[in-house]
Structure 1
Amino acid sequence: MNDFILMADAGCDLSAEFQKKYDVKIIDGHLVLPGKGDVPSFMEWKDVTREDFYADLKKNPSDFATAPPNTAEYEKAFTAYVKDGKPIICITISSAMSGSLDFATTARKNILVQYPDAKIRLVDSMRYGPGFGLMVVHAAMLRSEGKSFEEVCDYLEQNKNRFHQAGWLDDLSFVAKKGRLTHPKAFFGTLAGIKPIGEFDSGGMTTVLGKAKGAKAAYAVLLKYIEATIENPEDQVIFIAQSCRYPQAEVYKKMIEDKFHPKAVYINDVYPFCGINVGPGLMAAYYVGKPISDDLSTERALIEQFISEGK
């Protein structure tokens, strides 16, 4: 039985095109935007361009804020399907970054009072943005292959620490101020020409593993890092996230295609729900690979080795 609903909150950064392609139901979060107040999150650039949004965010970051779907919104989204007997897998943005999972958990408990036979599984992605989105896409691909509700849930729980991030963020001030980065004081702010290279950690956040000098050196380090950590690249769909770094993302995409020959590489925007907390300057690839070590010691050693080789 693979007739179940896949849901995710807006932290997955899946565009409207990907939502339709993979049949994923998105539960909107909330944005506080200058002059507009509280508005639903969006994953298409209709009323504002990507460039204008990030330019305004950089000028006045304190005027922007986000909030996850609340309990009532989760209840409404769940009820639309459980009333018809549809099982639901709902994947949320990392619980280290948001209360989304807590609201979904309360909503599930409330739903079970009215619908005691409802089948709802909640999965903490321990990821955010396109890394989270890639996990959702994998769940959808498994469903299309005929995997059962339980098999998909088990895969997500057992493999979430295999979803890697390999990229840089030019300005760490946004993620540090918003509490999305471990050890922020060591890497706070912007250093001209320095590319801080980060990876997902076991706590569901990002840790900077090292700093490369210049884009050319950073690309070389990242390709070596992917090569050392990826598994079966020829079978993979790889996402590249960018927040106003599209030219760099295009260069990275071609490098990955030429070196690893994956099934597909897609460049994904970081939309406002995540973008407000990430800020401009993210350029990173997301893929499935070897399990990430609990303390990131393995990954840190690799990055340090590759940076040293480039000097």
Structure 2
Amino acid sequence: MSHDHDHEDSDYELDEHEHDPSHELVTIRDLLRFAVSRFNREGLFFGHGSSDAYDEAVYLILHTLHLPLDRLEPFLDACIPSDEREEVLAVIDERVAKRIPAAYLTHEAWLGDFPFYVDERVIIPRSFFAELLENALSPWIADADTVTDALDLCTGSGCLAVLMAHAFPNAKIDAVDLSRDALEVAGRNVFDYGLDERVTLIPSDVFSALAGRKYDLILSNPPYVTQEAMDELPDEYRHEPELALAAGADGLDVVRKIIAEAANYLKPGGLLAVEVGNNRDLVEKAWPDLPLVWLATQGHDEGVFVIRREELPGA
């Protein structure tokens, strides 16, 4: 017994005096190795901007140290003073202990080259539309300059409304969300990009507050997570507003409203574009007769469909 007791004592002394990792982590390279190992050991989930532990660790470390996010190499062997080291270790700890997505820790998320403010009132931006809007939905929209009225349904942080304003320079954009909390965040992003004159934020349950309005383009990245998928979500996703994810048993509750009513809000020849994640099969099963066209994006060929007003129900 006494042998075990001695062993415990010596462990305790070691913990007390030497187990503070910050003494041994001197450079960014050291901190990066430490973070990647911890993230992997703890089985964190990545899917809010980073695809693996390395990318996430690089992002969190560079952001915390106020270094350019696209330049790791020159700083790898920089020695970090203890106050900054403590900041980095605190962020790494919080990421692990609370499973908080990195974007909520930094209050920043990127879509392509565009950074946005985010917090837990909004879903973290991630959308195939970021890529499709780089070329203004061409060829489905023949000339970006001809789009004068556009709608971003379920705008969340306002990120797609901002991207639309850049893609369609002559467009006035309505950005709609059921959540007033989300619209507060969207307002901040719209203001940061100087788009107050062009983007109008409207609290609305899908089309309910838009009577009489008509658009050249309706774009939506609505909630589309099935109940089964909601039940299996990693902890990281539980920090996001459920309202922005869940959409009934088959994930199509909101998409149903959009498809049923969109024709009433589109101008002749207007385009509806909707993102549905991995639910292409469910959508095709629900609307076997609709001539939906699925757009190819990098690494994913079935996340977004488009359809013209004239082909929609009720047109």
Taking CA–CA contacts closer than 8 Å with sequence separation of 6 or more, which of the two structures ends up with the larger relative contact order? 1
More strand by share: 1
TM-score under structure 2 length normalisation: 0.29
